[in-house]
Structure 1
Amino acid sequence: MKYIMDREIQIFTEIWLTAIVTLIFCHQIAARIPSGAARLLSLLPIIYLFTTLPLRLSSFHLAAPTIFYLVWLGNFKLLLFSFNQGPLSTSPPLSLLHFISIALLPIKTKQTPISPKPPSSDKKAFHPIIIFLLKFCLIAVIISLEKYREFIHPYLILALYCCHAYLGAELVLAVTAVPVRAVLGLELEPQFDEPYLATSLQDFWGRRWNLMVTSILRPTVYDPVRRVSTRILGRRWALPAAVMATFVVSGLMHEVFYYYVTRVAPTWEVTWFFVLHGFCVAVEVGVKKAWCGCWGLRPAVSRPLTVGFVAVTGGWLYFPQGIRSGLDVKAINEYSILVGFIRDRLPVNASSLVL
């Protein structure tokens, strides 16, 4: 087991070093090629590498962020860069370190300058750290409970999986942003914004849940589809078409993610989960327009309804594919392997501290 983890770490390091080298090419050479088909052609080998390199990994906890960062976000950012759009195309051009960081990591720099905080806000600045530690402790408790899932009601297990998916994604993305803030001093947009407080599905998917995906799907899918649909279908149907296209692409990318981590042929349940939510969001937006934006529901009612709908449909369509493939068991078992791997490499052995 120790050899397997050592080998996984080696492959993980090779993948990320390769990605960094290819982005040096993008920054130094591809950026000088005129945008459009010529630049896209020059970037196709990089997109191919980003798509295939994560297939070498078998560990869920190393493969999952690598797939998300390279296969999805990285490739979509390169596609935008091909046409001189997106976060990699700025005026003046990004420095090499900024270019690599934004291309490889799920971060988005704030567009407006941040004014210095007054001294009295120091106490508030400590608040996110407390929240982070609480969420870290909560996910540790959830992982401990999941080990005894055979003794827990299936509905409670699904609730734990929902919390696990949210907390795991938020904590991984937050930890990823820490070195960027420390080394580059960038002010970054939040990656999540308390999705459990969402008052509608539009609020949940558009303003609170995994905002890095939202920020990359808007220019790559939503905006182009809405422009084309406006010309073909008219303004009335352009927005629903753009919403549905965005959710379909998100569903397909989640299917790709599932395939990479399970190596099992897709059953398309995950895609249907996003198709259902895309349809519901499109209907919700249409109802809001008809009612002039007035829902008539108080947050005390709309929040549990929204989160409950996401959780129930997630348990119905999103999680079963991973559970059938044993992905949940694999992920839980890997925690103890990772803990042992880290413990064996600590400079001071814990047993030597016992007097």
Structure 2
Amino acid sequence: MEKRDIKSVIIYWMDGEISNFIKVWISVYISLSYCYFAGKIVQKGMPRFLIFLPVICLFLILPLKLHSLHLGVTTAFFIAWLSNFKLLMFIFDKGPLSDPSLSLPRFLALACLPIRIQGQKSSSQKSPKKGQKSTLNCAIKGVLLASMIKLYDYSDQIHPFIIWILYCFHIYFALEIILAIVATMARVLLGAELEPTFNEPLLSTSLQDFWGRRWNIMVTRTLRPTVYEPVHKFSVKLLGRKLAPLPAVLATFIVSALMHELIFYYMGRTRPTWRVTWFFLLHGVCLVVEVIVKKVVKDRWRLPRFLATVLVVGFVMVTGLWLFLPEMLRTKADLRGFEEYAALGAFVKDVTRALVSSPLTNVTRI
């Protein structure tokens, strides 16, 4: 890449994808501001649904304007999934957006980011140890992610199965780091404590524990009131209270599967093969069986915690390698991701060189 000054480097980087990214998010904030003010004057239910419907449709279209892996998929997850589901809750005066005391900035953050504000805390209430632990945890995972990226340079000398396992950890570490950065930015801007998006899923002792309390908690919180609870309420009338959770669980996994298929379409613009749907259906059925077994045996018999964790994490990884990861590789997400890492590295080098060779730097040296 030829040598550029600071201005030309910034223009080069802002062209294309970054420019589209900014335009998309300006559209998102304008649309959510419209929902914020409209929600105050339009009653819940069908009237609010009709005025929010154009925004919901727009949020399904906007990710198609982005083609990069990191910016495009992250944006798709934030607006096509989280924002739309939170808006659906808001339509019926439920969920975090229904709080009438929310200011516009907080409404915008809650609507489009994977966060949940717990409320203001005084300095005496804050736990520095928890914050330090969270920072250290994120730093360790950042180092591990960087090490894995470097390890890919020797992929021709590593067994493909090992590389696929590394991809599984790569996805988890990358998601947690991206969402941790978002949460940190929101914490600084909003001055509120935020709940973690992940809760150490590698320590799960059951599928119920993994999907319900540890993996992508914000998605669980959006699917529960929008899918699980309505289906559960309906199933109680048909099947009774004991069996009602079972179809509710399956319905939740089906909706999650369809949303993941949508995210994969944004990722590769390829027609779905429905393997991702089978992945979630398999886990949904297994979770239903797990719930039934727990009700039958109750507390009379339980696997040792270490063995349960190995079995659960192993099951998630094996089924992910079988059904989930191949679809990601079909979109060439791994190759595109490495290209974007390289482009970012080249951009940082260009900026650094431009700063070093700038007239201001030369004057300072003199």
Q: Structure 1, residues 127-148: CA drift from partner, whole Å, max 9, x if none?
A: 2212111110110111122243
Write the mapping of 1:52-131 to structure 2, written as runs, cut at 5 A.
Answer: 52-90=61-99, 92-110=100-118, 117=124, 122-123=128-129, 125-131=131-137
**Structure 2 residue 39 is matched with structure 1 residue 24:** no
Q: Structure 1, residues 34-68: CA drift from partner, whole Å, max 9, x if none?
A: 11111100011111111101101111011011000
State the AA in 2 paired with 1:85.
K
Shift in Å, 1:122: 3.8
Which piece of structure 1 moves more, 27-36 or 277-286?
27-36
Q: Contact between 1:198 and 1:204, CA under 8 Å: does it hold in 2?
A: yes
* Unpaired runs of at least 5, structure 1: none
* Unpaired runs of at least 5, structure 2: 2-8
- Aligned equivalents of 1:132, 1:81: Cα separation in 2: 32
Whose RCO is larger (CA < 8 A, sep 6+)?
2
For 1:334, what is the secondary structure of its paired residue? helix
Shift in Å, 1:293: 4.3
For 2:55, what is the secondary structure of its paired residue? helix
Q: Number of paired residues?
A: 351
Write the mapping of 1:1-355 to structure 2, written as runs, cut at 5 A.
Answer: 3=12, 6-90=15-99, 92-110=100-118, 117=124, 122-123=128-129, 125-293=131-299, 295-346=301-352, 349=355
Q: Structure 1, residues 85-131: CA drift from partner, whole Å, max 9, x if none?
A: 111001x33111111110011101227x7575579x64553222121
Shift in Å, 1:70: 0.3
Shift in Å, 1:30: 3.3
Q: TM-score, normalised by structure 1?
A: 0.93
Q: Contact between 1:30 and 1:42, CA under 8 Å: does it hold in 2?
A: no
Q: Contact between 1:262 and 1:325, CA under 8 Å: does it hold in 2?
A: yes
State the AA in 2 paired with 1:59.
S
Q: Structure 1, residues 327-354: CA drift from partner, whole Å, max 9, x if none?
A: 211112211112222332348646899x
State the AA in 2 paired with 1:227.
K
Q: TM-score, normalised by structure 2?
A: 0.90
- Aligned equivalents of 1:81, 1:297: Cα separation in 2: 41
Q: Contact between 2:13 and 2:347, CA under 8 Å: does it hold in 1?
A: no
Give percent identity, aligned residues only. 47
- Aligned equivalents of 1:153, 1:173: Cα separation in 2: 31
Shift in Å, 1:325: 2.8
**Change in 2 beyond 3 A, CA 1:345/1:48:** farther
Shift in Å, 1:193: 0.5
Which piece of structure 1 moves more, 129-138 or 294-303?
294-303
**Change in 2 beyond 3 A, CA 1:232/1:147:** farther
For 2:242, what is the secondary structure of its paired residue? helix
Q: Contact between 1:147 and 1:332, CA under 8 Å: does it hold in 2?
A: no
State the AA in 2 paired with 1:27.
Y
Q: Contact between 2:267 and 2:331, CA under 8 Å: does it hold in 1?
A: no
Highest CA radius of gyration, 1 or 2? 2
Q: 2:4 corresponds to which residue?
A: none
Q: Contact between 2:232 and 2:244, CA under 8 Å: does it hold in 1?
A: yes
